[in-house]
Copies of this chain bind each other. A is one copy, B any other.
Amino acid sequence: MNFVNIWGATTLIVCLAVGVASPAIAQVDHDEDREFISRLFEQALTQRQSYIWLRDLCLEIGPRLSGSSNAAKSIEWVKYISDTSGFDHVFLQDVKVPHWERGEAEQAVLTDSKGNELELSVLAIGGSIATPPGGITGQVLEVGSLQEVNRLTKEKVEGKILFYNPPFDQSNIMTGASYGANVGTRSRGAVTAAEKGAIASIIRSVTSADDDYPHTGTGSYADGVPKIPAAALGVQSADRLSEVIAKDPEATLRLTMNCQWFEDAPSHNVVAEMRGSEYPDQIIVVGGHLDSWDVGHGAHDDGAGCMHALGALKLLKELGINPKRTIRAVMFINEENGTRGGHRYAELAVENEEKHLIAIESDAGGFTPRGFGVTSSDEQRKKLEGWLPLFPRNTISYFSRGGGGVDIGPLHRATGTPMMGLSIDSQRMFDLHHSARDVFEEVHPRELELGTASLAAIIYLLDKYGL
> Which positions in A face B, CB cutoff 8 Å?
1-18, 20, 41-42, 45-46, 98, 127, 170-177, 179-181, 183, 187-188, 208, 217-218, 220-223, 261, 335-339, 363-364, 368, 370-371, 373, 392-395, 397-398, 400-406, 409, 421, 423, 425-428, 444, 446-447, 450
Contact = CB atoms under 8 A, between A and B. Distances in A.
- Looking at chain A's contact residues, the main secondary structure is loop
A6 B368 contact: no
8 contacts: A3-B218, A3-B220, A3-B339, A7-B179, A15-B180, A41-B171, A173-B394, A427-B446
Contact of A176 (B1, B8, B450): B8
Interface centre among A4, A187, A217, A450 (most CB of B within 10 A): A4
A41 B208 CA distance: 16
Contact of A337 (B5, B45, B368): B5
B176 A15 contact: yes
B393 A173 contact: yes
B12 A177 contact: yes
Interface centre among A11, A337, A423 (most CB of B within 10 A): A11
Contacts of A20: 398, 400
A183 B12 CA distance: 11
Contacts of A4: 187-188, 218, 220
Contacts of A447: 427-428
A370 B394 contact: yes
A172 to B, nearest CB: 7
A221 B1 CA distance: 6
A401 B17 contact: yes
A406 B5 contact: yes
Interface centre among A5, A13, A222, A403 (most CB of B within 10 A): A5
Contacts of A41: 171, 173
A426 B98 CA distance: 41
Nearest to A172: B15
A18 B370 CA distance: 13
B403 A14 contact: yes
Contacts of A171: 41-42, 45-46
B400 A170 contact: no
B5 A183 contact: yes
A1 B221 CA distance: 6
Contact of A180 (B11, B177, B405): B11
A2 B223 contact: yes
B14 A402 contact: yes
Given A1-B98, A1-B221, A2-B221, A173 B450 contact: yes
A414 to B, nearest CB: 16
Contacts of A1: 98, 127, 220-221, 261
B368 A425 contact: yes
Given A15-B172, A170-B446, A3 B180 contact: no
A46 to B, nearest CB: 5
A421 B14 contact: yes
Given A8-B183, A11-B177, A425-B425, A393 B402 contact: no
Given A402-B14, A421-B14, A446-B170, A5 B217 contact: yes
A419 to B, nearest CB: 10
A397 B3 CA distance: 34
B425 A176 contact: no
B409 A6 contact: yes
Interface centre among A4, A14, A20, A405 (most CB of B within 10 A): A14
A301 to B, nearest CB: 9
Nearest to A175: B446
Contact of A393 (B7, B174, B336, B393): B174
A43 to B, nearest CB: 8
A7 B398 contact: no
Contact of A179 (B8, B338, B404, B423): B8
